[in-house]
Amino acid sequence: MTFRIRKAFLFPLGILAMEIIALFISCIILKQPVAKIVILGFMILPVIALFVECLFRRTTISEDQIETRKFLRNKVLRMADITAVETIQVKKRAFVTLCADDNFLIISNAYSKFPLMINRLLSFVPENTITEETSEMAEAPPRKSSDIISCWLAAALMGFILYAQLKMLP
């Protein structure tokens, strides 16, 4: 079964990326100060990198392995090699770490169907590798939506700035 990052997060992030690019282009066309263009140039990089990373990220869980595909990267852990499944939870953000000797994989609750993902994962890993915290978290996985709200707020703010910038066009 394959899991992806929530579309509810990807959609506003994509809008934000397009707005920043449009603002950057409009600053160049309107011959805005170089400092403003440079600052926007630096803002574009992490937003686009995050968007591309989230867009391409998918994790596939099967009986014998877990595979995470990222942009230009791929990581596979065999279920039989997993030595520890641990959880770190900060408020409503959960991170599940899978350790296999020197390799590890971290899964967060940014994935859609996270409760199903965790239950499926725990059904395939060796039982003695699952910590008590992970078992407790799997019974009631946290649902985090503040990242989605923050992204929508950033997109709205950037949309307002873009609107104000485009009003300057002749």
Q: Residues 149-164: pLDDT tens digits? A: 999 999 999 999 999 8
Domain ranges in the chain are 2-166
Tokens of 83: 């030595």
Give the model confidence (pLDDT) of 59-106 as tens digits: 999 999 999 998 888 998 888 888 889 898 888 888 998 988 888 989
pTM of the model: 0.80
Cα(33)–Cα(128) distance, integer angstroms: 60
> Whole-angstrom distance between the N-terminal and C-terminal Cα of the chain?
53
Identity of residue 51: F
Spatial contact of 27 and 41, defined as CB atoms under 8 Å apart: no
Q: Are residues 76 and 98 in contact, defined by beta-carbon separation less than 8 angstroms?
A: no
